[in-house]
Amino acid sequence: MTRSSNTLLSVLLTASIISVTACRHKENFPPLGTNLASPVDIANSEDGKYFYTLNADFDRKYNTGSILVMNDAGEKLRSIEVPRMGRSLNVVGTTMIATVDYGAEAGNSKPHVFLFDLNDPANPSLKADLTVECSPIASAMRKNYAYFSITCSNGTLYIGKFGSDLSQSQLYKVRQFTRPFRAVYLDSKRNLLLGFPDQPDKPNIGDIELVDASAYNKIGIQTGSEPNEIPDQFEQTRRAWADLGQRQSYQFFVYDIAAEEKNAPNCTVSATTPTCDFPFREYNDAVSQGELRWSYFRLKDYSGAPDESTYFNNPSYKYYRTNFYAARPDPEDADVFYLSQRGAPNSSPNANQILRVRINGELRPKLDTSTNSYTFNPTSQEFSFERVYGFKGPQANKLSYPGDFRVVMIDNQKTVVVNNFRDLVNWVRSDATGSYWIGASLVDDPNWYSQLSGQLSPANDIRTYYQVAVNEAGRGASCSFYGNQIIFFDVVPGVAINIINQVR
């Protein structure tokens, strides 16, 4: 062996010893306590007296996350330790769901779904620690309803069922779509779960007007000269028919909880489907395909005139929509829910809004036993869509991307409070200036609009509001993921939004 070889071997051995020693050295992190560390989501108790913030500790300053409990004045009361990399927080009635993504530290090998009891809202009590096999992005539940859902960034869908005691709750992996469905609405009246597509990364697919004038079979041969909901370009060739995944950017799903819970139809027990109670189905399964509908609609502005579009006067075209961030129920009407839709102005000029969606028809598909396929009513017959926030004009600009929102009765006025944001991971920081604010409007009288921005001095302006929670007294809060702060504010319908506390 040459001298140079010996020298190289010596260096490698020394580096190996140093590496092993470093691996054995335990890193020391300060306790998180009631500090703020990358707060990623926020919610409030049913009585409105308490607010909860999920700390993700994204920068790994503390090596743990937490749920911070505060009163409605923003005073810190206590914290509950959870693993790092929190993703979502959801409170309905006396139940809180917190989701946590994969983490690097020991003991966090799988993402978690934590269920907390809030019968004592000042002291959340952990009842169940469930795990999922994907990165969770959102949860959905309804008050006094037996089911909940978890959606993941890779398109995986879980259905959960609460036990009589939360500790007995169960979670079932039921679908694998090719797109994530973040905006999920549980329709407890009809026992259905509705999900709308999202782009968790920087939006690269926009709304689009496409012709739907004919029907084609699965080998691309025209079989009719009437619209069939499917854009013609998605079915005119054998290849287009085979690529079912590409459609899901413009499709929502209707999951029949009652049908899938016990002895689900068209289900065969197999190694991948060990039971027909809440069975797992791939996106190309016949039942899964029967659940997918096309999301299209046209909207009107303040004056009642339709939004400008290239093919508005052509009846063969439909305006297909994508990139929905959140879904919220109406506080009074079981047939109504709301959606936030986002989009880059150059690709989705008539997006960036909150929509009121009314269910008008029968959403469940019908099985044609002769062809073993499903038929369903057109989306235009099942839903009506109305813009209630984000009209073209003073509220809209190129930096407006509505995300999380709440629809709350404040002083008997139905008020929508919206977090508008851009994620600095996906947009350069120079683009983000002025991109974060809380906006509020009256749902039934959108002539009043107020925006929370410019109320802090430049030294204190965190510029990164993220997620939002509001109680029926109008007290709200939003977290700054990048600024490690919580802003508390008051919404006075018809008057203004005012900051009342900045929690660090």
Specify the pLDDT at position 7.
40
Specify the pLDDT at position 142.
97
Please say if the pLDDT value at position 23 is more than 60. no
Which residue in this structure is represented by tokens 């959140």? Answer: 326
Q: In this prediction, what percent of the chain has a pLDDT beyond 70?
A: 87
Please say if the pLDDT value at position 188 is more than 90. yes
**pLDDT tens-digit readout, 296-342:** 999 998 888 888 899 999 999 999 999 999 999 999 999 999 999 99
* Residue of higher predicted confidence among 303 and 156: 156
Q: Are 465 and 419 in contact (CB under 8 A)?
A: yes
Specify the pLDDT at position 265.
84
Return all residues near 20 (Cβ < 8 A) that are at least 6 apart.
none
Q: 37-41, 123-127, 402-406, 463-467 — which is least confidently predicted?
A: 463-467
Specify the pLDDT at position 308.
87
277 closest CA partner among 167, 169, 172, 147 = 172
Domain parsing of the chain, residue ranges: 38-152
Q: How confident is the model at residue 6 (pLDDT cuts 50, 70, 90)?
A: very low
Q: In this prediction, what percent of the chain has a pLDDT beyond 90?
A: 66
Three-class SS state of 470: strand
Specify the pLDDT at position 319.
97
Specify the pLDDT at position 18.
45
Mean pLDDT of 469-498: 94
Q: Which amino acid is at 462?
A: I
Cα dihedral across residues 390, 470, 453, 458: positive or negative? negative
Mean pLDDT of 96-101: 97
Please say if the pLDDT value at position 355 is more than 50. yes
Please say if the pLDDT value at position 481 is more than 90. no
Q: How confident is the model at residue 17 (pLDDT cuts 50, 70, 90)?
A: very low
CATH superfamily of 38-152: TolB, C-terminal domain (2.120.10.30)
Return all residues near 425 (Cβ < 8 A) that are at least 6 apart.
none
Please say if the pLDDT value at position 1 is more than 90. no
Beta bridge partners of 52: 43, 69
Mean pLDDT of 178-199: 95
Which residue in this structure is represented by tokens 């084609």? Answer: 216
Give the CA angle between residues 208, 211, 212 to the nearest 5°.
Answer: 120
Beta bridge partners of 249: none
